[in-house]
Amino acid sequence: MNRTTGLLAALLVTFSTSSAFAQSGVWDGLARTTFDIAAATLRIPCAALQDGTGMAIPGFAPAFALNLQLVDNELRLIEPIQAFEEIPEICLDTLVVDGNIAVYSTESAELDSIAAENTNRFYSIELQATIPSDGPINFTAVTVEDRLYIRPFYEGEIFATRAGIAPYPKEFVYENDLVDEALRRMLLGLNVHQAGILEIQCDFYDPLELLEVVGSLDGNNQYRIKPSLTAADNDKIFSIDCTVFDHDINRLELTTPIVEWIITLP
């Protein structure tokens, strides 16, 4: 058995072990790695397993959920450990195994504290462990840095107009070119303080069901005001809303209307 294979056998559990899915609830609801203050444990909902070249390691699950408990100023790997058959869509952390060295890293850890000063505080952490031939696996901190995250915000104009009269008469068809224009406005008015992987999407928002689908163009729905609407529905609103999702911290950061139509019928 080579060194790396022996290390992984000591470090990680597979689906066949009885503890692989035990107590998986400790990660329930976690959007990112979180330090559980009460349990003095770093809860890691997903870390992608890689070798020293950044590649997957054959014969082992591609990602794991882990727990590292604080013991005498070190973080000890403890059960439960959960293996994933595939890397989840959201997997923010990495666990690199190279020879008898394991390095865990994250850019998005947080405390489970509800204190206001911790709401937007995130931690970049790198931990390293030298794997013993037997006994517990303890990680020590290489770097721990915190940062105060400033959410992106929209500082542009929210364009308000009327639906049911010109230039948007009752028979007007609302198409995807309006969504494209809203996205353009969003990009022009979005203020981003910190670089990251942001996903910005815009679409019609119609919670009062004022619109009906009348067709499709290039895979996008076309809408029109429902013929059943009357003056009794005046002042009701539908809109095009845009959202900003930060993939670096797995969090929806912003939802804002860009264009609002106010029903105005005679």
For 101-121, the DSSP string reads: EEEEEEEEEEE----GGGTTE
Least-confidence region, from 1-15, 110-124, 128-142, 153-167 = 1-15
Q: Tens of pLDDT along 19-39?
A: 444 445 789 889 999 999 999
Q: How many CA atoms does the CB half-sphere of 55 hold within 13 Å?
A: 4
Least-confidence region, from 5-14, 32-41, 156-165 = 5-14
Q: What is the mean pLDDT of residues 174-183?
A: 96
Do 210 and 224 meet the contact criterion of CB atoms below 8 Å apart? no
Quick one: how many helices (H) and strands (E) in the chain? Answer: 2, 16
Do 202 and 241 meet the contact criterion of CB atoms below 8 Å apart? yes
Q: Tens of pLDDT along 34-53?
A: 999 999 999 999 999 999 89
How far is 234 from 182, CA to CA, in rounded Å? 23
Rounded alpha-carbon distances, angstroms, from residue 122 to 87, 176, 261: 23, 37, 38
Q: Where are the domains of the chain?
A: 3-148, 153-263
Q: With bands split at pLDDT 50, 70 and 90, how would you rate the model's confidence at 187?
A: very high
Between strands 93-98 and 101-111, the pairing is antiparallel
For 126-141, the DSSP string reads: EEEEEPPSSS--EEEE
* Structure tokens that stand for 191 in this block: 């203020």
